[in-house]
Amino acid sequence: MKYFSYLLLLLFFSSCGAIQVDYDYDRNTDFSSYTTYNYFSDLQTGLNQLDEKRLMRAMDITLQSKGLMFSEEADIFINIKSTVFRAQAGNSVGVGLGGGGGNVGGGVSIGIPVGGPKLNRELQIDFVDAKKDILIWQAISESPFKEGSTPMEKEQKMQELVAKIFDKYPPKSRK
């Protein structure tokens, strides 16, 4: 029973800061034919310059580990968009009052939010075929965002985020 309590507590804390990623891609695309990438020249990421450098450095390392090379004459152009928004806290406490007598009863209850809104970052990464100019792969991630993090924490968080985003790239062919 003691180990079950620890496991439950560990599961609770690990789910609080989870990165969620949704993927979409063109099923008819042969991703093995793409060997080079570059970023759009007019990239407007929505990140500050330091975070943009951290993101691109982490992406370069990850993409190169997957066999893609950075090139001026690229097969894929990458577009990045980022927004930070306040998410409503998902926890609430319910308070109810009820009563009744005989065959009649009634009650009133309300939910009181616990904690304030939290900051989340949405990061969208688009892969566009350079020759056909069509979207072939997209990942949209949502993760907790903490203001006031140290540069080391930001670097580590960005590396974790990129690793999670590209975990399922290239997609398995399901024709």
Measure Cα distances from 33 to 29, 68, 125, 142 in Å: 9, 10, 19, 29
In a domain, 62, yes or no: yes
As to burial, measured by CB atoms within 10 angstroms (0-12 exposed, 13-18 middle, 19+ buried), residue 57 is: middle
**pTM for the model:** 0.73
Q: Write down the pLDDT at residue 81.
A: 96
Q: What is the pLDDT along the chain (175 residues), one digit of tens a residue?
A: 555 454 444 444 444 568 899 999 999 999 999 999 999 999 999 999 999 999 999 999 999 999 999 999 999 999 999 998 877 656 666 666 666 666 766 666 666 666 556 888 999 999 999 999 999 999 999 998 888 889 999 999 999 999 999 999 999 865 5
In a domain, 131, yes or no: yes
Q: Write down the pLDDT at residue 6.
A: 46
In a domain, 108, yes or no: no
Q: Write down the pLDDT at residue 13.
A: 45
Q: How many CA atoms lie within 13 A of 150 on its CB side?
A: 3
In a domain, 4, yes or no: no
Of 122, 135, 120, nearest in space to 165 by CA: 122
Domain count, the chain: 1
In a domain, 112, yes or no: no
Q: Write down the pLDDT at residue 15.
A: 45
Q: Write down the pLDDT at residue 73.
A: 95
**What CA–CA distance (Å, rounded) separates 36 from 74?**
5
What is the domain extent for residue 82? 19-86+127-168
We report the CATH number of the domain holding residue 41 as 3.30.160.670
